Structure 1
């Protein structure tokens, strides 16, 4: 069976998008997702995105990380899906229903309300999530935010001075985070500007992370470091993040279609196709 896909990216965070809203796509499995995401033997991507019918929204978006693990949310993928869909839509994700719409050069996504309770992140035990009394090497005094998926944020003087490739996997797999964690290091450069690097759970260092930008912006706003609308600049480019008075996070930024193609399902899914 040949399956069509669209290769897309948001600020260099890239996706293989499979549109199964009309059916005809076999059930996705973690091994199949990992095989398709493999950059050497597969199509290659940070995340595989599967669109499906939904009873709760216009359609459902499922997100599989590079290691095949399914996760709750992906901001950059949401913008890519808005571009692919071509019209405003409500989208069911495992992190909740979000609203998206294409705009000139990209998309705007209502990411919903952030959550700050220790059990909402989740953490292994209770603690203050705005000023967490834990640390790893040079990284300490973090904040935790769930924006559909879990993030821990560290504010540092220079994001490039942090060995995130070493500390990222250590923090991701720390027992404090029973569902693992996305790791963000950020530098505040003004009331309206943040620089950010992200170690993504199940992926590693990425050029951009939309939910990481949302979580970092909200953490900075809660600490009074920035205003309620801020530009977050990652290695791949910038996103605008606003936290409205009604407690909703709105992310605006670019998305791009790279190419389209097809693949033979059995080449990647093996027994999963039967």
Structure 2
């Protein structure tokens, strides 16, 4: 979710704001079942894309047998390109459903958080000032991570392929070395880029070191450019910690939203699927094709 704006769009009465929030909750409940089913197909399409990109990289470094075993079919560039097109088609179909769910969830979150701007509502809400301050920190961090999502996702794709290639070939060939050098340069650039962007934003939770930024949290030590295994470990660390932090942030925002809604007299919202938002429809990282 990308929660955009907490300020009410109009000077509408609080009762009208609550009515709009209730309607948004009902619409989100209506879309939940379709979103849950879509997530299963989305995961399948992502697996197809990941395996097709890995098989293409295997061909590039001449690990044909493992590529064929991975896809369980004859491997060539045409076959792989076909798989990627089908994965993209499925992803686009699924994303239409997920986008509808996500948009409705964003509307619900915004309407609920806007209630924190009403003095009459804040008077009745325990820790209203604390909630408002925490929401501001969470939203800034959430937006910054969302803005970096494409680069973070590419780190995961590169490290997955990198690890698999080194696993399947014990004797590095010239093609393998050339591929690793190219990948390491791209990974090093992306690590520094994302680390810099996330270092501009405060870590929105308590930390043993006190007030820190997100950059050092998601990657404690930046590896050297020629440290191939260090770059691989760094890419995995940054991806895992950033995605985990993103979901923790969204979960905390959702918790505050639930608190606000219950204060407004609404029941707890039913469990909904976890959506990896900000995922692009296509993986545009040029692995081999």
TM interval, shorter chain, is under 0.3
Greater strand content: 1
- 1 or 2, which has the higher helix percentage? 2
CA radius of gyration, larger in? 2
TM-score, length basis structure 2: 0.22
Q: Higher relative contact order at CA 8 Å, sep ≥6: structure 1 or structure 2?
A: 2
TM score, norm. by length of structure 1: 0.23
